Amino acid sequence: MDAQAITNFRHTFDGDIFEPSDSGYDEARYVFESNGNPSLVAQPKTPHAIAQAISYARQHNLELSIKSGGHSGSGFSTNDDGLVIDMKYFNQIEILNLEAGIVRIGSGARWGDVATTLGEHNLAITSGDTSTVGVGGLTLGGGIGWMVRKHGLTIDQLLEAEIVTADGQILTTNADQNPDLFWALRGGGGNFGVVTRFTFQAQPNEGIIVTTILYDHAKMWSILPAVHQAMLAAPKDLTGTLVVPPVSPDGQPILMLVLAYAGTGMTAAQAAVSPLISISGHISHDTKAMQYADILDEKPRPSDDVEIVATNVMVKDGSPEFYQTLEKFCASVKNPMLIVRYLGGAFGEVAEDATAFSYRDSSAVIVVGLMLDASRADLQIEKQRIAENWSTLEPFTNGVYINFMNTGDGKAIGLYKDDTYRRLADIKQRYDPENTFRRNYNIDPSTKPAA
């Protein structure tokens, strides 16, 4: 890369720039699952500096990645030999109108900090399950959080966003200004530009009540469909995630359901979880009140010698036939992690075409994670075998949730309903015709499903 060009870039850039030889480069390039080796990491402090970084990448034909929190399981928030725009300075959390619950949050803020700050004002935004996940990436993909059945997705609480587009424009998007782009940002991922900040409608929240239920692992394949049916009938104040971790060599297998009741009424919370406690195979349960921020945990960084394969499907009703097929898949792989995140409630009350997030009639997202030896000679063959076995679930499923994926070819076609994708591709053509923002599940403006 032209040393003089980099020097000129540094002198005019409002922010920090790191090359591989610079002190601080390793910290700047850090992402959660595996670090890339970008030629430059730019940390802008203003929207105009973001526009400058985008222009520099385009002028020098550099692959461009955007990092808010760096938790992209697919590695999109970094690259090799390209430029990473790190949004760390866009981390403001502002209460614009306390009485109305209107807040403005920078895309580089972390959800744990957001939950803590809003909690001090008895407010909350449903937002994932990990404290260090960035606001930008999670929001643009949809945002399935611990109150998704009560308040919908994170994008369902979005009122406005500011975005820097590929040609350097700084645009406000909302229901009245650039409404097509506002629609696309709510579920279309990072395909359309660099979002600097979001304005949300936060919800009143004085706390949540969390119940953790342990079930008999040996009855797993009768318990899973029973829990699914119980969650279909549960009040929408109750959101749940069922987790079956990989079985450790020296530990007992675990089947755990975590339920978050959005409110502080203990009697109502206990009534809501009672049908789930009554399921055959129940071993024990524990219930406690906590602040919303306290349920957001921090997951350990994966070992470098492990390659994680994570895939998911959104299902409509969790039929017995689906769970029988899922059981066969899990038997075909070694020591899987299984996660079921239940939807419905407010999630399903949003019109199908109101946002770019498809499949509002889904009742759950089923995630399977596998930890493979990264050094095995047949790694690619094994991943292909897993993908082929996973395809047996397709007849029972709606689609996928892009925030939970790290598989596939990086193309978004096939991940959205055809009509949704065609609309996204048209908007992409208007705002990013050269596909500058392609480090994502990419909406290629030149490729559309047949009408």
List, for residues 215-248, the tens digit of each pLDDT value.
Answer: 999 999 999 999 999 999 999 999 999 999 988 7
φ, ψ at 367 (rounded to 5°): -115, 135
Pick the CATH number of 3-86 from 1.10.340.30, 3.40.50.410, 3.30.43.10, 3.30.565.10: 3.30.43.10
* CA 96 – CA 88 distance, rounded (Å): 21
Neighbouring CB atoms inside 10 A of 351's CB total: 7
Q: Please state which of the ranges 84-88, 210-214, 240-244, 316-320 shows the lowest mean pLDDT.
A: 316-320
pLDDT level of residue 451 (50, 70, 90 thresholds): low
Structure tokens that stand for 189 in this block: 């991922």
Question: Which position has the token pair 């994966």?
Answer: 302
Domain with CATH 3.30.465.10 in the chain: 93-204
Pick the CATH number of 93-204 from 3.40.50.2000, 3.40.630.30, 3.40.50.720, 3.30.465.10: 3.30.465.10
List, for residues 53-97, the tens digit of each pLDDT value.
Answer: 999 999 999 999 999 988 887 789 999 999 999 999 999 999 999
Domain with CATH 3.30.43.10 in the chain: 3-86
List, for residues 368-415, the tens digit of each pLDDT value.
Answer: 988 887 788 888 888 888 888 888 998 988 889 999 887 666 788 888
DSSP run (H or E) holding 392: none
- What pLDDT score does 156 carry? 98
Q: Give the residue-averaged pLDDT of 286-303.
A: 88
- Mean pLDDT across the chain, nearest whole number? 93
| CB distance 300 to 347 below 8 Å | no
Stated pTM of the model: 0.94
Question: What is 208-404's CATH number?
Answer: 3.40.462.20
Instruction: Look at residues 366, 383, 361 and name the one whose alpha carbon lies nearest to residue 312.
Output: 366
